[in-house]
Amino acid sequence: MNVSDSLAVARGVAWRQLHNAVLNPTIFFPSLAFPLLNFAAFAGGLSRVSEVPGFNFAGSYTAFQFVFVLLQSAAFSGVFSGFGVARDFETGFTRRLMLTAPNRSGIVLGYAIASACRWLITAAVITAVAFAVGMQVGGDGVDLFGLYALALLVNFAGTLWSTGVAMRIRSQQAGPVMQMPVFLILFFAPVYVPLDLLQGWIHAVASVNPLTPVMEAARGLVSGEPTKTLVAFGTGVALVLAFSSWAIRGLRRAEAVGG
């Protein structure tokens, strides 16, 4: 594989995605609105949940929910990027990219880079809102860097998952197929309370959910009491690798049918 070709293609694809986002800022609205809404509803409405006996978290409930919202925004930014890929198939633009690109895996890389850049803007807004409402952070600079790095891995995983779906279905009807699994993985994690306070079937599901260690590690980083950090990064990297393969194989399928 020619790496420089791949990077050139990736730069071009990423530029186009970001250029369109700048010209059409409303594109940020969905990926901002729902996380902020959840933040308001959960951190604002459910703050008393932190008084439940056994709720062990070093930070405030606001910080507890901030982590979920950050990861949710990362995952859904990836999904919304997938919508764009599906739309490109419907309009025929992907065919143009495939005709032009000397190394087509760069197309996938480009979509992922653009998604990450867009998410960083979303993350900045969400973080600013969280601090504006008085979120207290126990972690230091390294911890917070680790938090955003984890979230970035989740964003890449979400983008690659939905890109792979888009490459296979090649129409905007892929939307629900992209969204639903991501939604389920997010909400079948310890969203409202720590894992220890979940009971019954939800505890069983959350225990095997790959996002659970990521969420717990992220909460540890924000509260200044890191926990399961290596496991979380390992899980994040594994998800990215797995979904990279998923996306590239999807690209090959799309190539086989002429885009």
Query: Which residues lie near another protein (CB under 8 A)?
Result: 30, 33-34, 37-38, 40-49, 51-55, 176, 183-184, 187-188, 190-193, 197-203
**Residues sharing a CB contact under 8 Å with residue 158, sequence separation 6 or more, in sequence order:** 74, 75, 76, 77, 78, 79, 82, 115, 182
The least distance separating another protein from the CB of residue 131, rounded to whole angstroms, comes to 16
User: Least Å distance between CB 205 and another protein?
Assistant: 8
d(CA 170, CA 88): 8
The residue (of 36 and 120) whose beta carbon lies closer to another protein is 36
Comparison of 209 and 244: residue with beta carbon closer to another protein: 209
Q: What is the full DSSP assignment across 94-163? A: HHHHHHH-SSTHHHHHHHHHHHHHHHHHHHHHHHHHHHHTT----S-HHHHHHHHHHHHHHHHHHHHHHH
The nearest distance, CB 212 to another protein, in angstroms, is 12
**Residue number, 43 or 165, with CB nearest to another protein:** 43
The Cα 138–Cα 54 span in angstroms is 20
Q: How far is the CB of 241 from another protein (least distance, A)?
A: 28
Q: Which is nearer to another protein, 34 or 93 (CB)?
A: 34
Amino acid occupying residue 38 = N
Shortest separation between residue 192's beta carbon and another protein, angstroms? 5
> Which C-beta is closer to another protein: that of 42 or that of 148?
42
